[in-house]
Amino acid sequence: LDKFVIVFIDDILIYSKNEQEHGEHLKLILELLKKKKLYAKFSKCEFWIHRVQFLGHVIDSQGIHVDHAKIESVKYWASPKTPTEIRQFLGLASYHRMFIDGFSKIAKPMTKLTQKKVMFVWGDKQEAVF
C-alpha cells in the first residue's frame, strides 16, 4: 500500500501513474476501508484529480512541489531579531528541506545564532542566507 497511498491522520492520498492503475488503487483502498469498517465522508472526497494540495505541498504528474503560496509568504518574512525567531523560521524552512539542496549548510550561519553561548548578532552572512 505504501507504494501508492499516503495517510496522515484522517487524510488519505492515493496516487497512480495512469488512470487504469488509479482505478485499481481506488478499488483496493475503498475495499480495505470497508473491510476495516472505516468510511470516508463522500462530500470531502475528490476523485480523479490531476493536481492536489496535500500537507503544504502540491502533487501532480510531475512529482511533489512546494506550494507557491508558501514560497510567497516566506519571501516577505521579516529578518529574525532573536534566537527564538530564528528557530521559528528554521522550523518552517526545515519542513521544505527536501526541496533545498544543502539546506543544513545554507542555514548554518543562522543556526549558530541559536546556540546558548553565542551572542546574537544578525549580520550580512545571516541576511544573505535568510
What pLDDT sits at residue 39? 86
Domain extent listing, the chain: 5-67, 77-129
What pLDDT sits at residue 14? 92
| Residues in the chain where the model's pLDDT stays below 70 | none
Structure letter (DSSP) for residue 3: T
Report the SS3 class of residue 7: strand
DSSP sequence for 55-108:
TTEEEETTEEEE-HHHHHHHHTPPPP-SHHHHHHHHHHHHHTGGGSTTHHHHHH
Answering whether pTM is above 0.85, one says no
What pLDDT sits at residue 70? 80
What pLDDT sits at residue 71? 82
CATH H-level, domain 5-67: superfamily: Reverse transcriptase/Diguanylate cyclase domain (3.30.70.270)
